[in-house]
Amino acid sequence: MERLGNKKRPLSKSILWLILIVMAVIQIFPLIWLLDFSLASSNELFTSGLLIIPQKIQWGNYAKAFIDGNYLIYLKNSLLINTLAVVIVVLVSMMAAFACRRMHWKLNVPVKTILLLGMMIPISATLLPNYKIYSMLHMTDTIWALLIPYVAFSLPQGFFLMGSFMESIPVELEEAAVIDGCGIYRILFSVIAPLLKSSIATISIMTFLNNWNEFMMAKTYLSSLKWKTLPFAILDFTGEYSSNYAVQFAVMALAAAPAVIVYLILNKHITKGLAMGAVKG
Amino acid sequence: MNKLYSNKLIIFSLVLPGLLLFVFAILAPIILSVYYGFMDYSGMGKAAAAFIGMDNYKNLMGDKAFWTSLRNSLLLAAGFICIQHPIAIGIAAVLDKLQGKAEGFFRCVYFIPNVISVAIIAYLWKFIYNPSFGLFNNILKLFGFAGKVNWLSADNAIWSVLLVLIWHGFGWGMLIYYTGIKNIDPVLYEAAAIDGADARTTFFRITLPLMKPVIQVNVTLAVIAALKQLETVYLLTNGGPGNSTQFMGNFLYQQAFQAGKYGYGNAIGVVFIAICLIATVLLNKVFAEKKSARRLKNGTAWE
Amino acid sequence: MKRKLLATLLAVAMTATLLAGCTQKATTTTETTKPAAPATTQASQEATTKATDSAAPVTLKVFSNLPDRKTGQGLVEQTMIDNYMKENKNVTITVEALDDAAYKTKFKAYSIEGMPDVVSIWGQPSFLDEVLAAGVLAPLNEADYKDYGFISGSLDGFKKDGVLYGLPRNSDIAAFYYNAKMFEDNGWKVPATYDELIALADTINAKGIAPVAMDGGDGWPLAVYLSDIMVKMNGTYSDIVTNAITKGDFSDPLFKQATDLLAKTAKAGLFQTGYDTQDYATAKNLFINGQAAMFYMGSWEASMALDTTIDEAIRTNIKAFTMPAVADGKGTTSICAWNGGGYAVSASSEVKDEATKFLNYMFKPENLSKIGWENGVGMSAQDETAFMTGSETALQKQFLDFLKNASNTSGTTVNDRGASAFKTSIESEIQSVCNGTVTSDKFLAAIGAASK
């Protein structure tokens, strides 16, 4: 089965290649620029070149970014909060989706609508009142201040996707399990869950992407070092007293690194998962 | 089986976590927002808030910044739909024809900005726009341009902000379109080839029409994203200079936390939520009609 | 059998994670190696039962707006904290430091519950009015500070209805820092009049250098500049400004004159390209990297002379001058100076006695004033003549002279004289009037409306 492309004249093909390469450059160049400047010293930045070849590669910038930027703490917090969020979202959405799609009860449509409503609500509108609520409950500056909203806002998406994927599981399997004498929870976790592997993967990736880089809520609800997440590495560093640009670039590169590295390694799976999610969604 | 599946207690236990989260993290704040929207409150301390009825909302309607925010959201949505999406579809189509390792490579590269935090993107672009040593002005210098362009001036700021947002969101849009294109049955292409259609005709007569549902989803997402914009603009310009790049999310944040008008900020929030809900419902309605209309003409994809 | 076990395990795990989170607060605080600030008031409650016994352990929470603890004012603050802990072994002081904007946001959260014991404040209506209305700060006994050498008038901004609520930390003066070597190399002269300043802008621009690095992105430096012009034009502006804010009417000719001059200045290219969206760090960077000839900022940046991260060639050649005389101005010998930052004790503090003791310790002239002076940080609000070491930087001496030779000071700048809504409005609108998007009249009307 030949694609039309192979029948094209070579000129058109090279034009296509050119377009693709230009796009790639547009997408990537700012990041290359970032890396390049992060290895220079601050006063070398004020040049007219597009890229600079630093006189001496300033690895010290990265050292400063790592230490003064409290990198490890932020990284640890980000990993902790995000992993917890993903686990909770998967569990809760699976349970809720199963209840709404498979269980027999009258209220499943209203409940489904309520749970999906979250997708239409802009997060920023809840920043203010949540801040007040968390202040009154002494929750600001704790892990809950982030975990609860992160889960709550990733839930509708997860719930929706779980539901869609569940549709494709034949009811016969559940009927067989019931005959075998399984309770609902056992059916859910032993029969259904294993078949939802790709959906779980998709939801995990989407939730992770949603929250890993989130910082508005983090900025509003957190202030002390203890629970700050990775985006703070940049936010904190660019305060009034950090007039060393090159180190700021290094901080940004460090902060972007984990996500980019993971993405490059798991690229195929991530893209496939997201694509499936996008189509079903 | 029906008895087991109708067990109220179990159903309750299954949906309880989800519902609780919704009530606590979404519903309660909205109700509180509505409450504070009627108040004049600085946000400081346990001082009593003064009830002022609809005053906040009245002031909001007369507030230029509010209308600028709406305008900017519309501009952004237009930017997404008219600039980002066509390029995304085009690139997706080209990628589709490429095959092999190159396809995977480019697909991977295009999505990279999307895995990077908005905080980094915003600061990075702030540097790119820097008149003294920023990338853009250096590129201009390369072409012999003498002056220093102020990319974030009152006139230019909104376009510069739009550029960043369109650039950043490109990966997602492209991915969704790419998946849509991949799902088109190759048989249709074969049939078109037999009929003697060239690449252009194929694209416009077969690919695009079959992509309609995907396009609709993407357009909806784009409009909602344009409305919800907050993080990038907060870091890049914080709505400035002089409110020219203001977006609703940023505006409400600014009023509540910087101007000490917590009540006003919440009123903005309520209006904001209402607009998002209305937009979602409207878009769904518009596209649902189109969908059912198309179902009637099923099978005539390349007419 | 196994599957049922799995299901119950899962359920248990879920509840366990929920419960673990509740106890996590208590456990993580003991895991960290630094004395981290507990988010709840539990720790301080344990301390209050023994607060009266001075040998008993006390924890003081300090909330600071100086995130950089290694240079400048932040270093001074940290030094005093460390010294106090050394001298009072039973006291542990924990510090939470955020930059200005984050500080003010968190302050609001704390004002509802959990305010730290010693906090940084600004003795200006824009900050203090709302704070005092919420009853957040503890009143201080003014008589206690008679011998602390506070400059007359410096405590005024920290009082309400005659009661003192805080102590001022700095005397700030607005000035143009300039690169003396650049000036010398190019044969530029320090402008004696405002017209000379504008003319100098053209000369400097012609060389491709920014004349004055201005933090226009934050708005308040522009407002300070405006206040500076006003005091040079009129000698004083306190009453006129207070009047305008209370009435919501800025029609006094002084405002229009000053705004017009500011707009004219911006149009003449005195500030760097893109100043209206560039922030503090960007502006400062331009100056310390030799891309701008001058830097308009407050006296707290005098510590630049001692900042080793700045190139020596520039660092040792930083000098300053105050706003040049405006033609026909009545305030030729007036300067724009105010007492902004300061400290206070929280009204809800559980260790008020110790907190006040620490506050007083900080303000003992041999601490804040002396250490600040030795670290090249601007000037305190107290008499520092006793601490002349003879090795002051030229910059410090200059600022001392500015203050000494001034006939009067302006007091709090215009943007901080009203409520925070007024502050936000003027700091945003001033960007527009400077870059020409809005006329002076519209600007004055807008800020008038915001102050109502």
pLDDT tens track for C62-116? 999 988 788 778 889 999 999 999 999 999 999 888 877 778 877 887 887 778 9
Tell me, yes or no, if B180 comes closer than 8 A to chain A by beta carbon: yes
pLDDT of residue A235: 75
Q: How far apart, in whole angstroms, are the C-alpha atoms of residue C261 and residue C267?
A: 10
Given a contact cutoff of 8 angstroms between Cβ atoms, the answer to whether C363 and C382 are in contact is yes
DSSP codes, C80-99: HHHHHHHH-TTEEEEEEE--
pLDDT of residue C48: 41
Tell me, yes or no, if C37 comes closer than 8 A to chain A by beta carbon: yes
Which chain C positions have a beta carbon within 8 Å of B150's beta carbon?
A: 273-274, 277
Tell me, yes or no, if C27 comes closer than 8 A to chain A by beta carbon: no
- Whether B265 sits inside 8 A of A278 (CB atoms) is no
Averaged pLDDT for residues A131-159: 86
Question: A186 vs chain C: nearest CA distance in angstroms?
Answer: 6
Q: How far apart, in whole angstroms, are the C-alpha atoms of residue C299 and residue C399?
A: 7
Neighbours of B81 (CB within 10 A): 17
Given a contact cutoff of 8 angstroms between Cβ atoms, the answer to whether B74 and B248 are in contact is no
pLDDT at position C46 over 50: no
List chain A domain ranges: 4-62, 69-237
Residues 6+ apart with CB under 8 A from B193: A4, B202
Helix (H) / strand (E) element for A196: namely: none
Residues in B 60-79 with any Cβ partner in A closer than 8 A? none
Tell me, yes or no, if A242 comes closer than 8 A to chain B by beta carbon: no
Model pTM greater than 0.80? no
Share of chain C above pLDDT 70, in %: 88
**Residue C164 forms beta bridges with which residues?**
C140, C159
Q: C292-298 and C210-213: which strand pairing?
A: parallel
Q: Residue C135, by phi and psi: left (phi above 0), alpha (psi -120 to 50) or beta?
A: left
- B/e letters for A83-109, b = 16+ CB within 10 Å, e = fewer, are ebbbbbbbbbbbbbbbbbbbbebeebe
Cis amide leading into B241 (omega within 30): yes
Which chain B positions have a beta carbon within 8 Å of A120's beta carbon?
A: 224, 276-277, 280
Question: C54 vs chain B: nearest CA distance in angstroms?
Answer: 31
Residues 6+ apart with CB under 8 A from C244: C250, C252, C255, C448, C451
Q: How far apart, in whole angstroms, are the C-alpha atoms of residue C347 and residue C135?
A: 7
Most B CBs within 10 Å, among C10, C276, C277, C284, to test the B interface: C277
- Whether B18 sits inside 8 A of A16 (CB atoms) is no
Which chain B positions have a beta carbon within 8 Å of C425's beta carbon?
A: 259
Tell me, yes or no, if B25 comes closer than 8 A to chain A by beta carbon: yes
Q: The tokens 């379109």 sit on which residue?
A: B177
Which of the four pLDDT bands, split at 50, 70 and 90, describes residue B293? low
- Amino acid, single-letter form, for residue C247: K
Helix (H) / strand (E) element for C439: namely: none
Tell me, yes or no, if B125 comes closer than 8 A to chain A by beta carbon: yes
- Whether A243 sits inside 8 A of C105 (CB atoms) is no
ipTM of this predicted structure = 0.78
- Amino acid, single-letter form, for residue B41: Y
Neighboring chains of B (3 or more beta-carbon pairs < 8 A): A, C
Residues 6+ apart with CB under 8 A from B198: none
SS3 sequence of chain B: CHHHHCCHHHHHHHHHHHHHHHHHHHHHHHHHHHHHHCEECCCCCCCCCEECCCHHHHHHHHCHHHHHHHHHHHHHHHHHHHHHHHHHHHHHHHHHHHCHHHHHHHHHHHHHHHHCCHHHHHHHHHHHCCCCCCHHHHHHHHCCCCCCCCCCCCCCHHHHHHHHHHHHHHHHHHHHHHHHHHCCCHHHHHHHHHCCCCHHHHHHHHHHHHCHHHHHHHHHHHHHHHHHCCHHHHHHCCCCCCCCCCCHHHHHHHHHHCCCCHHHHHHHHHHHHHHHHHHHHHHHHHHHHHHHHHHHCCCCCCC
Q: How far apart, in whole angstroms, are the C-alpha atoms of residue A203 and residue C280?
A: 41
Instruction: Count contacts between A and B (CB, < 8 Å).
Output: 292
Q: How far apart, in whole angstroms, are the C-alpha atoms of residue B247 and residue C314?
A: 41
Given a contact cutoff of 8 angstroms between Cβ atoms, the answer to whether B150 and C275 are in contact is no
Higher pLDDT, C63 or B198: C63
pLDDT of residue C2: 42
Q: If one looks up domain A69-237 in CATH, what number appears?
A: 1.10.3720.10
Residues in B 84-123 with any Cβ partner in A closer than 8 A? 87, 90-91, 94-99, 102, 104, 106-120, 123
Q: The tokens 């927002």 sit on which residue?
A: B33
Question: C45 vs chain B: nearest CA distance in angstroms?
Answer: 21
Of the partner residues B179, B227, B272, the one whose CB lies closest to the CB of residue A275: B179
Given a contact cutoff of 8 angstroms between Cβ atoms, the answer to whether C175 and C320 are in contact is yes
Q: B50-271+279-296, superfamily in CATH?
A: MetI-like (1.10.3720.10)
pLDDT of residue A168: 78
Which of the four pLDDT bands, split at 50, 70 and 90, describes residue B296? low
Which chain C positions have a beta carbon within 8 Å of A228's beta carbon?
A: none
Tell me, yes or no, if C101 comes closer than 8 A to chain A by beta carbon: no
Neighboring chains of A (3 or more beta-carbon pairs < 8 A): B, C
Q: Please give the mean pLDDT across all residues of chain A.
A: 81
Residues 6+ apart with CB under 8 A from A92: A151, A155, A158, B17, B18, B21
Which chain B positions have a beta carbon within 8 Å of C278's beta carbon?
A: 130
pLDDT at position C188 over 50: yes
Give the burial class of A59: count Cβ atoms within 10 A of its Cβ; 0-12 exposed, 13-18 middle, 19 or more buried: exposed
Which chain B positions have a beta carbon within 8 Å of C424's beta carbon?
A: 254-255, 258-260
pLDDT tens track for C369-417? 888 888 878 788 888 777 777 777 888 889 988 988 888 888 899 999 9
Question: B102 vs chain C: nearest CA distance in angstroms?
Answer: 41
Most A CBs within 10 Å, among B5, B6, B7, B15, to test the A interface: B15
Show the tokens assigned to B135: 């990338």
Provide the 3-class DSSP secondary structure of residue C284: helix
Q: How far apart, in whole angstroms, are the C-alpha atoms of residue A44 and residue C47?
A: 52
pLDDT at position C214 over 50: yes
pLDDT of residue C39: 38
Q: How far apart, in whole angstroms, are the C-alpha atoms of residue B6 and residue A104?
A: 5
Provide the 3-class DSSP secondary structure of residue A215: coil
Give the burial class of B36: count Cβ atoms within 10 A of its Cβ; 0-12 exposed, 13-18 middle, 19 or more buried: buried
Show the tokens assigned to C12: 């248990």
Find the length of chain B.
303
Report CA-CA distances (Å) from C357 to A169, A171, A251, B205, C364.
70, 73, 40, 82, 11
Q: How far apart, in whole angstroms, are the C-alpha atoms of residue A119 and residue A128?
A: 18
Given a contact cutoff of 8 angstroms between Cβ atoms, the answer to whether A211 and A154 are in contact is yes
pLDDT of residue B289: 65
- Whether A224 sits inside 8 A of C32 (CB atoms) is no
Residues 6+ apart with CB under 8 A from C251: C444, C448
Residues 6+ apart with CB under 8 A from A162: A93, A94, A96, A97, A98, A196, A199, A203
- Which residue in chain A has the smallest CA separation from B170? A27
List chain C domain ranges: 53-171+339-387, 173-338+397-450
Q: How far apart, in whole angstroms, are the C-alpha atoms of residue B131 and residue B268?
A: 34
pLDDT tens track for A67-101? 877 788 889 999 999 999 999 999 999 988 888 88
Residues 6+ apart with CB under 8 A from B288: none
pLDDT at position C13 over 50: no
Provide the 3-class DSSP secondary structure of residue A140: coil
Dihedral (CA of B46, B52, B57, B63) sign: negative
Distance of CA A279 to the CA centre of its chain: 18
pLDDT of residue C365: 84
What radius of gyration, in Å, describes the C-alpha atoms of chain C?
25
Which of the four pLDDT bands, split at 50, 70 and 90, describes residue A277? low
Given a contact cutoff of 8 angstroms between Cβ atoms, the answer to whether B257 and A219 are in contact is no
User: What single DSSP character describes residue A4?
Assistant: G
pLDDT at position C235 over 70: yes
CATH architecture of the domain with residue range C173-338+397-450: 3-Layer(aba) Sandwich (3.40)
CATH 3.40.50.150 fits C53-171+339-387, yes or no: no
User: What single DSSP character describes residue C193?
Assistant: B
pLDDT tens track for C116-149? 999 999 998 888 988 888 889 999 998 888 888 8
- Whether B150 sits inside 8 A of C437 (CB atoms) is no
Residues in A 157-186 with any Cβ partner in B closer than 8 A? 159, 174-175, 178, 183-185
